A and B are shown apart, each in its own frame.
Chain A
Amino acid sequence: MNKTTVTGWLASGVLLLACAQTAIAHHSASMFDFRKTETYEATVKKYQWTNPHGWLFLSVKNAEGAEVEYGVELTSPNLLLRRGWRPTTFQVGDKVTVVTNPMRDGSSSGRVVSVTKADGSVWTER
């Protein structure tokens, strides 16, 4: 995935989805590095409630202060629902702190470990 700078109009779901679609595979857990975790502050751009995996698309400030687009993978909505997650749990613009197992190749994605919202609620899949 290209570390594209996300401007306001670029942040449409369609473009975010297209970006993720070309680069990110599901059910290929070997692309994630489960020995590492990465934590970052982010703004929710899209919360996608789809099988086989849900996704959070995020805007993250990198070390240079530029906004970088991340797409991070959740488990299936079938399981998220039973964990208390809802399609309304995250709204566009929500400020979140995300912990992921990052990609081995360093691209701007990862497998979600937890998401903490501004109200302090912590969301995990387990």
Chain B
Amino acid sequence: MRALLTLGLMLLAVPVLAAGADVSPGPKPARLPDGKPNMTGFWSPVGGLLDRNFGPGAEVAKTTGAQGAQIPRSPHSPLKSPYKEKYETGLKDAAAGIVRYDPTGLCMPPGMPRMMGAIYGMELLQTAGQVTITSEWQAASRRIWTDGTKHPPEDELLATFAGHSVGHWEGDTLVVDTVGVRDDVLIDQSGLPVSDAQRITERIYLKEPGILVAEITVTDPKVFETPWTHVRRYRHRPELRLQEFVCAENNRNVGSNGEPVFP
């Protein structure tokens, strides 16, 4: 018995990639009964935190860590005042070790487009009239209406973290338009801001077996001089499944007085 226990402890002590909690759902058909490409499944960003041991992306993950898996700003999209000054001040503060406000540090959802960074991977579900994407990090969820739903009129549009997304198919590409994102989300960990004028268009498609691509274009005329596009690639991970993530479990950025600890 003791020997068995020792053996068990030894096995536990060996770090392995395969996790017992993740179960393979098996092969899936390339197309759904309605003829649309089958994107349903669990996806992790190429080069992201879950992408160890998979080609050159693994090196990216090693050198950049979590930030490498977030949505970065295009270098061809200069910021406008006053966002520019505020952003640059934030960068300087971060370099100096000053803690800057980040809603996700208060366990708030990352919002759009940051949630598409999906640093812990994301689950995409296609159902009739709706595509649902849940990013495991912060359990951030969004719904893309593909049933012909239109955006509500401006005075009925509730500003939300994920915004209001409508989608349609152009061939095998899901084209998504998102408005109504709150103006207090950040695009990435560096503090890149958004305004209430942010509009996001995405082209989501399967590029090759097991690779999903999202071309994410941000148009925010109050913040950026020009629209910019971030192309994100995700790898199908049939051996992984979405895990629960409840940030509030140990939300340390709220002090004992209930106030945020950010300056």
> Footprint of B on A, CB under 8 Å?
18, 20-22, 24-31, 33, 48, 50-53, 75-76, 78-79, 81-86, 88-89, 104-105, 117, 119, 121-124, 126
Chain B residues near A25 (CB, 8 Å)? 99, 105, 252-253, 261-262
- In the complex, what residue of chain A is closest to B106 when comparing beta carbons? A27
A-B contact pairs, 7 of them (CB 8 A): A28-B102, A30-B94, A31-B99, A51-B249, A83-B15, A83-B17, A126-B61
B28 in contact (CB, < 8 A): no
Q: Give the A-binding residues of B (Cβ under 8 A).
A: 10, 12-19, 21-22, 49-50, 52, 61-62, 66-67, 93-95, 97-100, 102, 104-105, 107, 120, 136-138, 189, 240, 243, 245-247, 249-253, 255-256, 261-262
In the bound complex, CA of A21 to CA of B251 (Å): 9
Given known pairs A20-B252, A83-B15, A89-B12, the reply for A51 and B245 (CB within 8 Å) is yes
What's the minimum C-beta distance from B150 to chain A, rounded to whole angstroms? 36
Chain A, residue nearest B94 (CB): A30
Chain A residues with CB under 8 Å of B255's CB are: 21-22
- Residues on the A chain within 8 Å of B253, using CB: 25-28
User: Do most interface residues of chain B lie in helix, strand or loop, or is the interface mixed?
Assistant: loop
Closest to A29 in B: B189
In the complex, A9 Cα to B37 Cα: how many Å? Answer: 60
Across the A-B interface, give the 7 residue pairs with the lowest CB-CB distance, nearest first: A27-B105, A84-B15, A50-B250, A104-B97, A28-B99, A84-B16, A30-B94
Q: Which residues of A contact B247 (CB under 8 A)?
A: 51-52
Indicate whether A50 sits within 8 Å of B249 (C-beta atoms), given known contacts A30-B97, A79-B49, A117-B13.
yes
With a CB–CB cut-off of 8 A, which chain A residues contact B250? 26, 48, 50-53
* Chain B residues whose C-beta falls within 8 Å of the C-beta of A21 in the assembled complex: 252, 255-256
With A27-B253, A52-B245, A126-B52 as given contacts, are A119 and B99 in contact (CB-CB < 8 Å)?
no
A25 to B245, CA, bound (A): 18
Q: Which residues of B contact A28 (CB under 8 A)?
A: 99-100, 102, 105, 253, 262
Bound CA–CA A78/B260 (angstroms): 25
Q: Give bound CA distance, A88 to B255, whole Å.
A: 29
Minimum distance in angstroms from B209 CB to a CB of chain A: 23
A82 CA to B22 CA in the complex, in Å? 8
Give the docked Cα–Cα distance between A88 and B99 (Å). 33
Taking A28-B99, A84-B15 as known contacts, 5 extra A-B pairs with beta carbons closer than 8 A to each other, sorted by chain A number, are A24-B252, A29-B189, A30-B94, A76-B137, A83-B15
